[in-house]
C-alpha cells in the first residue's frame, strides 16, 4: 500500500517554536525530499486531480461548486461561490479577516443568519449553509463578475482590502453586512462576548469541473474541495476517522490512497502557537506514530508526506528507515530549508 498524506501548514513560520514530533521527524529525515510548487491546499488538490492551470496560485479554485457537491447538492451548470461566515475586524486603516476557525458557529445560528439574508439575495443568488462554517452561494444569473471572486480564506490576520471582490460586489456586501449586524443572532453573540458574524467571505468562484482524474483508489478528508474532486473523479471517498489505527483497520492491503490532514492550517494562519502545538501533538499521536509503526511492520509499503505551502514532499519506504546517519531534525529546520 502507498499512503499519501497532505498536511498543509505542517512547518512553523521561521522564528516560531515548534513542538517535538519524533515519529514525523524520523519520517522526514529518512525519506527522500522532492521539491514542488508552493501553493495552498486547494490549488494543490486541483493540480493533483488534473485540473488545467493548477497549482498556480492565481487560478480560481471552484471551491463553491465542489463544496456543494461534497455536501450532497447538485451543482448543475451554474457558477457557485463559497460564502463563509467571518468576522471582519477594523484596524487603523484597513480590515483584518478573522475566519470562523477562530470561533464557533452553531447550526442553529448558521440557519438563522442565512435565512435572514434570503430576501437580499432573491432572484440573483441562493445561499446554502451546507455546514455551520461553510456556506455556498449559487449564482442564478449569468453575471460574469463572479468569475473574479477567488481570493482564498487563508488571509487570516492579513489586510483584506486588496483582496475584496470587484466593485460591483461592494453594494451587495454592504447590504449583507448591515443585515448581519442587525440580526438577533449577532446581538446575542455580542452580549456573550463572542465575535459577531459581520460579513461573508466570497471566494472559490466557478462551475463544477466536467472531469477530474486521480491516481488514488480512495480519498479520505474532511476538506470539501478534496471530497468534491474525488466525487468528480469517481474515486471512493470518506472522512479520515479518528486516527491511523481505525483507518488501517478498514483499508485494503494494497493500492494507492490519499489522506488530507488539515487541522493545522487555521491555527497557523491565526498565529495561535498553543493551538498549533496541541494539534501537532494530536497528529503525531493519532497519525504519524502509528503510521511509522505500520511502515516498520510492512503494513504500508510507502508513505509520502506532502506539504504544499512548503513546496516539498517526503517519500519513505521501509528500507529508508535504516539510514541511521540521517538524523531527525526539528520541524523548524525544514521550515528554514523550504
Mean pLDDT, consecutive 10-residue stretches, the chain (338 aa), reads 96 76 96 89 94 76 96 96 89 76 92 94 94 94 61 58 63 90 95 94 91 95 97 95 94 91 85 88 97 96 95 95 92 74
pLDDT at residue 141 in the model: 79
pLDDT at residue 160 in the model: 59
pLDDT at residue 21 in the model: 94
Q: Which residue has the cell 468528480?
A: 232
3-class DSSP assignment, residue 128: strand
pLDDT at residue 58 in the model: 64
Please check whether residue 338 is in contact with residue 311, taking contact to mean a CB–CB distance below 8 angstroms. Answer: yes
The enclosing H or E element of 4 equals strand 2-6
CA angle 281, 284, 290 (to 5 degrees): 150
Cα–Cα distance measured from residue 8 to residue 235, given in angstroms and rounded to the nearest whole number:
22
pLDDT at residue 222 in the model: 96
pLDDT at residue 52 in the model: 84
pLDDT at residue 223 in the model: 96
**297: Cβ–Cβ under 8 A, 6 or more apart, which residues?**
none
- State whether the Cα torsion 93-12-99-52 is positive or negative: positive
Q: What's the half-sphere exposure (Cβ side, CA atoms, 13 Å) at 72?
A: 3
pTM: 0.92
3-class DSSP assignment, residue 124: coil
Amino acid at each position: 500500500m502507498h499512503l499519501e498524506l497532505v498536511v498543509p501548514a505542517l512547518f512553523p513560520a521561521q522564528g516560531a517554536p515548534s513542538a517535538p514530533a519524533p515519529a514525523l521527524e524520523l519520517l522526514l529525515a529518512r525519506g527522500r525530499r522532492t521539491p514542488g510548487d508552493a501553493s495552498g491546499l486547494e490549488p494543490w488538490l486541483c493540480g493533483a486531480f488534473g485540473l488545467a492551470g493548477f497549482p498556480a496560485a492565481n487560478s480560481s479554485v471552484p471551491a463553491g461548486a465542489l463544496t456543494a457537491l461534497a455536501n450532497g447538492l447538485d451543482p448543475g451548470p451554474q457558477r457557485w461561490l463559497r460564502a463563509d461566515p467571518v468576522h471582519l475586524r477594523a484596524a487603523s486603516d484597513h480590515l483584518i479577516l478573522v475566519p470562523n476557525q477562530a470561533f464557533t458557529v452553531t447550526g442553529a445560528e448558521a440557519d438563522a443568519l442565512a435565512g435572514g439574508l434570503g430576501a437580499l439575495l432573491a432572484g440573483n443568488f441562493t445561499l446554502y449553509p451546507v455546514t455551520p462554517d461553510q456556506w455556498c452561494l449559487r449564482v442564478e444569473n449569468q453575471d460574469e463578475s463572479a468569475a473574479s471572486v477567488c481570493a482564498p480564506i487563508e488571509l487570516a490576520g492579513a489586510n483584506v482590502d486588496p483582496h475584496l471582490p470587484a466593485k460591483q460586489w461592494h453594494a451587495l456586501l454592504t447590504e449583507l453586512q448591515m443585515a448581519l449586524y442587525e440580526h438577533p443572532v449577532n446581538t446575542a453573540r455580542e452580549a456573550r462576548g463572542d465575535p459577531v458574524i459581520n460579513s461573508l467571505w466570497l471566494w472559490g468562484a466557478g462551475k463544477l469541473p466536467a472531469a477530474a482524474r486521480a491516481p488514488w483508489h480512495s480519498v479520505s478528508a474532511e476538506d470539501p474541495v478534496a471530497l468534491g474532486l474525488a466525487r468528480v473523479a469517481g474515486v471512493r471517498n470518506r472522512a479520515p476517522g479518528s486516527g491511523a489505527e481505525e483507518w488501517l483497520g478498514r483499508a485494503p492491503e494494497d493500492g494507492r490512497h490519499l489522506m488530507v490532514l488539515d487541522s493545522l492550517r487555521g491555527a497557523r494562519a491565526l498565529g495561535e502557537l498553543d493551538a498549533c502545538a496541541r494539534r501537532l501533538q494530536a497528529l503525531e499521536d493519532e497519525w504519524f506514530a502509528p503510521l511509522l509503526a505500520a511502515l516498520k511492520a510492512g503494513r504500508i509499503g510507502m508513505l509520502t508526506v506532502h506539504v504544499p505551502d512548503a513546496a516539498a514532499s517526503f517519500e519513505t519506504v521501509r528500507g529508508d528507515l535504516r539510514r541511521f546517519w540521517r538524523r531527525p531534525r526539528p520541524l523548524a529546520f525544514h521550515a528554514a530549508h523550504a
